Structure formats: structure tokens, C-alpha cells
Amino acid sequence: MPIIRQIMSKFAVPDMRNLGTQVRLIVISIFYGLFLPLISDSDASYWTQVYRTASWGAPTLLLIMLTGYVFSQYATKLDKVYGVITAQLVILVLFVLVDYGLLGERLNFWTHFWQINMLSLGLMHMESSRQQALEPALVEARLTALTARIRPHFLFNSLNAAISLIRLRPYYAETLLENLANLFRAQLKDGSQSSTLGQEIEWAQEYMAIEQVRMGPTRVQVMWHHNAPDDAETPHLLLQPLLENAVFHGIESTHRPGCIVVETSMKHNWLYIMIENPFVPPDSDENVKPHKGNSMALRNLKERLMLMYDNDAVAKTEQTDSVFRVRIRLPYRKKESALDNLFGR
């Protein structure tokens, strides 16, 4: 078994729900179909051979992509070794159904059989190499995100606010400390774990409650428009660093009250998140605490989205004279709970 695992570590099953994976598969398959006739000893013309390859390769590829898209969420639950073996067996079964059963190929069946094996194993080897190449960047991104999550001034000011409230308003002090403890407990989790949108909203509301106690509810206002499924899978601690940026740069830098808007929605299996906060230019007379533009949270966010979703996720910023806005688009994936796995649902 260790030898098998060592061999299988060179292969990985790609996520067929990912748009980047689908594009790579199609491009490589086209190149493969155009290259094969060049090394063939057939007497037929080049384009005739390309057509023959496409006649069985295209329907096989389409069926493989559709099957992979439907069953990709189940493949991720398998052990890596069994996942690769299962994927290869499924590919071969689909190939036989198309080439032997549907098209009735008899003469060149074994030639096509070895060609589809070479293509599938080559693609899984490329996916394994791509994942291994991303591992150092992923570890660095997790460490960077972990060290940049909480600003020290926020922690100290929150604790000072709690101390000042203990005698006058003990209930508010207790609530502040509970929210602060929950927030730190969430942030000490492994950054590689995914979360749900509902959990992210809850953590974000606890964070904003702390800021409203610390700075006053009239100065820090927030509007929530949550119209997306709570079970949508999201990166761990997606919203809190962005809201901390919004408070730090949009409200704390001035003496004026400000309103932060958080909107979530879903459309056509895409999850949309928008965070909007007031914006005061650093050189403005109203900016009494000019803070340098801190793009670390946004840069970390974009890097995490690229590592987790490839090209499927998008994070954009918009800036006007009075508003700074962050827009995020994620593919909707339902996050399965531990109870679902426990009872096999």
C-alpha cells in the first residue's frame, strides 16, 4: 500500500466544477487531438485523422466533463488514492460506452483505449503538479492572513471599552467580551477550513457590535441585506477583515458618523457579496486621522480566492469621491454539515 500511495501521489483528480479546470481540459484535449495525427503511421490525410479522433474524443470528453461536474462533490470525500483509481475507472467505463457501445468501434478500439488512458493520466499528473506548486503559496497566504486579521489597536481599545463599561453598564461589557472571545476563537481556527455564509454573517455582526459599543452606535451604523443561502460555502473569515478595513478607513479616520452596507445575494448559482463604506480622501480636510491605504486585506483576499477557486472567484473594488465598495463573486457550493456526513445524508 505505501508503494501504491507513493505512485498515486503523482496524480490528483481535478475539480470539474471549476471553470479554470474545464478550460484547461478542453484546450489540452484539442492540442492532443491535433498532435496525435502527426505521429500516426496512417495513410489517411492529416485532417481526416483529426476528424476521426474528434468523432470519438469529443463525445467521450463531453460525457466525462458532465459526469465529473455532477459527481465532483462526492469525489472530494474519497481518499486521494481511491479518488484517482475511481476517477480512472469511471473514465474508462464512459469511454467504452461511447467508443464501443455507441459508436460501435471495433477496428481501432484498443488504440483509442490507450490514447484515453494517456490523456486522463497525463491530466491528473498535471493537476497534481499544479496543486504541489501552489502549496508553498497557500501556506504563506494562510500565515499572512492569520497575522493580519486583528489590528492590535482594535484589541486594546475593545478591552479598554469593556473595562469602562463594567461598573456603569455591566451587561454591555459582558456582551462585548463574549463577542470578542467568539471572534478570536473563530480567528484561531485553521485558515484552510472553509466556512458558511451564515457563520460569516454571524461573526461579522459580532465584530460590528464590538465596534458600535467601542465607538458608539450613532457613529458606527451598519445595514444588512442578507439574501443568500446560509449554507453557501465561503472561505474562512471572509467578511470580518473587510469590515475592519471599512471601519478603520471609512469611519475611524473622521469625526463624522458613517454607515457600512453589507449585501449578499445569489443568482444563477453565483454568490454575490458587496461591502460599502464611506470614503474620505487622505488629503481631505475632513480626514482628521489620515491612514495610509491598507490594501493588505484585499490582497490577501484575492490570493485566497485564487488559491481556493482558481478563476471562478472575482474580487473587485470601486472608489468614488465618497464611497469605497468591494464586490465579490463566488461559485455557490452547499456546505455539508457534520451531521449530514454522520447520517449519510
pLDDT tens digits, one per residue of 14-67: 888 888 888 888 999 999 889 888 887 777 888 998 998 899 999 999 999 999
User: Does residue 190 sit in the same domain as residue 79?
Assistant: no
- Per-residue pLDDT at 189: 63
CA distance 204 to 211: 11
Give the residue among 303, 302, 315 at the shortest CA–CA distance from 141.
303
3 state DSSP class of 203: helix
User: Does residue 163 sit in the same domain as residue 283?
Assistant: yes
Residue whose cell numbers read 468523432: 55
CA distance 285 to 279: 13
Any domain includes 66: yes
User: Does residue 337 sit in the same domain as residue 197?
Assistant: yes
- Per-residue pLDDT at 344: 46
What residues contact 178, with CB distance under 8 A and at least 6 apart? none
What residues contact 192, with CB distance under 8 A and at least 6 apart? 138, 142, 236
CA distance 101 to 310: 36
User: Does residue 184 sit in the same domain as residue 294?
Assistant: yes
3 state DSSP class of 224: strand
Give the confidence band of 270 by pLDDT, cuts at 50, 70, 90: very high
Length of the chain as a residue count: 345
CA distance 295 to 315: 13
Residue whose cell numbers read 469621491: 321
- Per-residue pLDDT at 143: 47
Give the confidence band of 291 by pLDDT, cuts at 50, 70, 90: low
Residue ending a domain, among 106, 132, 158, is 132
Of residues 297 and 59, more confidence is placed in 59
Give me 219's grid cell.
457613529
As for how many domains the chain has, the answer is 2
Domain boundaries, position 276: 148-342
Any domain includes 142: no
- Per-residue pLDDT at 146: 47
User: Does residue 183 sit in the same domain as residue 328?
Assistant: yes
Give the residue among 125, 121, 127 at the shortest CA–CA distance from 95.
121
User: Does residue 262 sit in the same domain as residue 126?
Assistant: no
User: Does residue 109 sit in the same domain as residue 12?
Assistant: yes
Any domain includes 302: yes
